[in-house]
Amino acid sequence: MDIKKSEFVTSAPTVSKCPSDNKPEYAFIGRSNVGKSSLINMLCNHKGLAKTSATPGKTLLINHFIINNEWYVVDLPGYGFAKRSKTVQQKISNMISSYILQRQQLITTFVLIDIRHDQQKIDREFIDWLGASNVPFAIVFTKADKLGPVKARMNAKAWMDKLKDTWDELPPFFITSSESKTGRDELLNYIDEINSSINTSEQ
């Protein structure tokens, strides 16, 4: 897929304030500081499209970016940022769950995982919740350049293998790096295939 155009559309505090058209949406979510904004910028080849911040947990709204005037990248707030107040944390949790469960235009949720770390309880709980809710999703491992290709693959496999304790069928996964653009083509091709299948089924 060739991304010719990507631009910010809106920041919505609730699902009802999201764009009203029916273009397919692909949401990106992960723990604070997982490299979400950098990944979105890398995918779109548009530096500064999603705001990267030195302060984790700054995304507090549902941010929509239109790609090639055909589909949306949706930047969701990061979960599990300890420095937020309980009230703000609950509000964000409600916003995330209502968007994921209610938004009919949402096609797939990409859950971002820092490839350098072992499986964290908060990530596992979120992924198990997606599975229990029958929400289509894929796992995107970030920061692979920090490890090198062999170690990155080993870590990703070990992480995915841990899902087998309760998962019969594992979700798709991608190994990426915003620095080296690793995984960009694979991820965009995956989205492109889904968009093509949607267009075919609508004809």
Q: Which residues contact 11 (CB under 8 A, 6 or more apart)?
A: 61, 62, 63, 64
Mean pLDDT, rounded, for 164-187: 96
pLDDT at 92: 81
The two tokens of residue 115 are 């490839």
Mean pLDDT, rounded, for 110-123: 95
Q: Which residues contact 14 (CB under 8 A, 6 or more apart)?
A: 62, 95, 98
Total domains in the chain come to 1
Q: Which amino acid is at 134?
A: N
Structural domain includes residue 1: no
Structural domain includes residue 81: yes
Structural domain includes residue 26: yes
The residue range of the domain holding 48 is: 6-196
Structural domain includes residue 201: no
pLDDT at 86: 76
pLDDT at 82: 56
pTM score above 0.85: yes
Structural domain includes residue 103: yes
pLDDT at 79: 80
Closest-CA residue to 190 (of 170, 179, 177, 175): 175
Residue 39 has pLDDT above 90, yes or no: yes
Residue 114 has pLDDT above 80, yes or no: yes
Q: How far apart are CA 132 and CA 137, in angstroms?
A: 12
Residue 185's CATH number: 3.40.50.300
Structural domain includes residue 73: yes
